Amino acid sequence: MDINILRHSASHIMADAVKQLFPDVKLGIGPAVENGFYYDFERKTPFVPEDLKEIEKKMHEIVKADLPFKKEQMPKEKALELFNKMGEQYKAELIKDIPDKEVSIYTQGKFTDLCRGPHVSSTGEVKVFKLLSIAGAYWRGIDTNPMLQRIYGTAFETKKELDDYLKLLEEAQKRDHRKIGKELEYFSMHDEIGAGLILYHPKGGLLRTIIEDWEKREHLKRGYQIVIGPHISKSDIWVHSGHYENYRDLMYIFEIEGQEYTVKPMNCPGHILIYQSKTRSYKDLPLRFFELGSVYRYEKSGVLHGLLRVRGFTQDDAHIFCLEEQVVDEITAVIDFVSYAMKTFGFNEFMVEISTRPPKSIGSDQMWKRAQDALTAALDKKGLKYQICEGEGAFYGPKIDIKLKDAIGRFWQCATIQCDFALPERFNLTYVGQDGKEYRPVMLHRVILGSMERFIGALLEHYAGALPLWLNPVQVAVIPITDKEKAYAEEVKKRLSENDIRIELYGQNETLNYKIRQAQSEKIPYMLIVGAKEASDKTVSVRARSGKTEGQIKLDDFIDRALKEIQRHG
């Protein structure tokens, strides 16, 4: 059975149950989505969790009745009259926008809905389901439209599949980066600053710095040159690039002294201007410009989500200008870089997608074909399987998206590689070939980790906050048992600091058990407990955050072991 058909049918059963329990509600839409389904309703009184239990109970009654899903093709005018008579103005609005002369409706029992289908044969086939949550959603996703109430649910063919999924949801809630970020004091968000804008606290700022320093070293090793651009620019450059026409809804635009400016949504035009700043030879190519570039995009408040969907973020952005015959090798090298980065950060599996030309785009069909052929050739060269996502490319070129699989099986979008013949033509980019004539370079846009914000969110959830030693902002907690050992604890702290091991001294006047619990709650990888015997023997008692104890070892031996563990990441 097609799971999406099952879930779409479940959404109709839920809508039927809601209408029976709350006859005054108005129906929005109810599609199947990844991992489940939802349905939008207009209701003056907000739904509450207790309502979900009643709705589920009614759904089971509808399932038990085993009502057939009956499809009917109906003239558009007749359907419009039917739904207007039913008082379903949202359905009537949808019907008006359908270009066809006929529409399809589905009925089970006394419930009728506008729907293309398909559905299972009867309600009795939808036996395993669960309603999950309630959220708000603007009608048709437009923030000037009415706010509706959205009920999310999921459905499976077997109870085991549902139980496994609910366990996954429970584990995901434990790993929620927003919860972990608050508990570990990594970051916060404040209404006073604005939605989707992040404040990094000292530990979060240090984590981000560790990642960015790694990025800079690895890019320099691979022949990238670091560049830096401003956060605002005149709108003219974005008009020239096509962003103004194709991306304007996501841009922040303002005026100063009669001149229109834009807060930077992307880094590519700046890198293009650096390329144009002097005559380039074929001998100079490939040129690889790398920038940890902060950008700002207007995302609707309803889609903002912790670090994963924000309005201000920093990308590990690079643009490679190369000869057409160099393109496949450059893309292959980026794929290798991504693979190395993922393994370094502890992600061992990923999936690959190629997104093709969207409806709003620039450049000729020939350009798009050459670009897509280069992407597929590189993936084929690496022996990587991929899925095609029709119409989801950037407006200037097709792209490869690489999604990481985390510890509990979820996928996270991070790395992207875009192949672009269009912007070099728009900006008249050239290089001088061997024959002294001018030719057009190809431009590759790429990120390795993606945005720092999203990647940090993914890391926190992947590790449930217990980051590996090399990444953890505090690597070691030094815990004196009593005040008498504070002097030795300071000595241990000094020795660790001299070896660039990040430490925190727990010198507060609390019990040993309290200090250990505190260090464990902060997910510090190692605790070094020092008492009178350790001070006398110049040793430390090692305790891991898992609770495992190792007893006394020489301080030098611990330092040597910790440094080797830290160095293994690269």
24 is catalytic: no
End-of-domain residue from the set 401, 434, 462: 462
pLDDT, mean of residues 135-145: 85
Q: Are residues 133 and 202 in the same domain?
A: no
470 part of a folded domain: no
Q: How far apart are CA 316 and CA 220, in angstroms?
A: 13
Q: Which two tokens stand for residue 123?
A: 């309600």
Give per-residue pLDDT as tens, 381-425: 999 999 999 999 999 999 999 999 888 888 898 999 999 999 999
Please give the pLDDT value at position 324: 95
Q: How far apart are CA 505 and CA 508, in angstroms?
A: 9
Q: Are residues 329 and 348 in the same domain?
A: yes
End-of-domain residue from the set 174, 203, 224: 174
325 part of a folded domain: yes
Q: Are residues 457 and 435 in the same domain?
A: yes
CATH number of the domain bearing residue 207: 3.30.930.10
Percent of the chain predicted with pLDDT > 70: 100
CATH number of the domain bearing residue 531: 3.40.50.800
Q: Measured between alpha carbons, how far apart are the two ends of the chain, in Å?
A: 46
Tell me which residue range forms the domain holding 511: 476-567
191 part of a folded domain: yes
Beta strands 526-530 and 476-480: pairing type?
A: parallel
469 part of a folded domain: no
> Distance of alpha carbon 452 from its chain centroid, rounded?
10
Q: Are residues 444 and 493 in the same domain?
A: no
445 is catalytic: yes
In this structure, are residues 151 and 172 in contact, taking their beta carbons and an 8 Å threshold?
no
Is residue 570's pLDDT more than 60? no
In this structure, are residues 459 and 345 in contact, taking their beta carbons and an 8 Å threshold?
yes
In this structure, are residues 388 and 381 in contact, taking their beta carbons and an 8 Å threshold?
no
Question: Of these residues, 177, 297, 454, 545, which one is catalytic?
Answer: 297
CATH number of the domain bearing residue 133: 3.30.980.10
Domain total of the chain: 3
Give per-residue pLDDT as tens, 461-520: 999 999 999 999 999 999 999 989 999 999 999 999 999 999 999 988 889 999 999 999
Q: What mean pLDDT, rounded, does the chain reach?
A: 94
317 is catalytic: yes
467 part of a folded domain: no
319 is catalytic: yes
Q: Are residues 164 and 229 in the same domain?
A: no
Question: Of these residues, 26, 370, 445, 446, which one is catalytic?
Answer: 445
pLDDT, mean of residues 539-548: 93
Question: Of these residues, 268, 322, 414, 419, which one is catalytic?
Answer: 268
399 is catalytic: yes
Q: Are residues 347 and 268 in the same domain?
A: yes
97 part of a folded domain: yes
Give per-residue pLDDT as tens, 276-303: 999 999 999 999 999 999 999 998 887 8
Q: Are residues 312 and 291 in the same domain?
A: yes
19 part of a folded domain: yes
In this structure, are residues 271 and 319 in contact, taking their beta carbons and an 8 Å threshold?
yes
Give per-residue pLDDT as tens, 320-357: 999 999 999 999 999 999 999 999 999 988 999 999 99
pLDDT, mean of residues 434-451: 96
268 is catalytic: yes
Q: Are residues 143 and 270 in the same domain?
A: no
Question: Of these residues, 315, 372, 418, 475, which one is catalytic?
Answer: 315
Q: Are residues 46 and 155 in the same domain?
A: yes
Q: Are residues 186 and 122 in the same domain?
A: no
60 is catalytic: no
445 part of a folded domain: yes
Question: Of these residues, 399, 454, 543, 545, which one is catalytic?
Answer: 399
End-of-domain residue from the set 148, 174, 200: 174
